[in-house]
């Protein structure tokens, strides 16, 4: 498993995303903005989901990837070489 696959698996797990939101105060996957706010964001090019995804990727790296057994990471390195 590579890092991107780990991020995708975490994103597909609702409990993991809910935990991320609770711990970070993010609202990834939750649409809580009013329609007018979404229209303003769209018109101005603002995408709050982008910042939440950056936080999510960093969260997965710290809480999952860095704690995975090194054997998985070593196998991925062999594939690249």
CA distance 46 to 67: 34
- Predicted TM-score (pTM) of the model is 0.70
Chain mean pLDDT for the chain: 84
If one counts the domains in the chain, the total is 1
Task: Give residue-wise pLDDT tens across range 35-70.
Answer: 888 888 889 988 778 888 999 999 999 999 998 876
> How is residue 66 written in tokens?
């860095």
Residue whose token pair is 């969260």: 59
Which structural domain range is residue 75 located in? 3-80
| Cα 74 from Cα 65, distance rounded (Å) | 13
Residue 81: the pLDDT is: 45
């Amino acid at each position: 498993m590579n890092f991107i696959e780990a991020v995708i698996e975490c994103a597909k797990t609702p409990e993991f995303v809910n935990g991320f939101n609770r711990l970070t105060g993010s609202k990834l996957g939750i649409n809580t903005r009013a329609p007018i706010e979404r229209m303003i964001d769209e018109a101005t090019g603002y995408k709050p989901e982008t910042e939440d995804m950056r936080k999510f990727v960093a969260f997965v790296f710290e809480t999952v990837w860095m704690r995975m057994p090194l054997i998985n990471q070593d196998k991925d390195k062999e594939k690249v070489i």
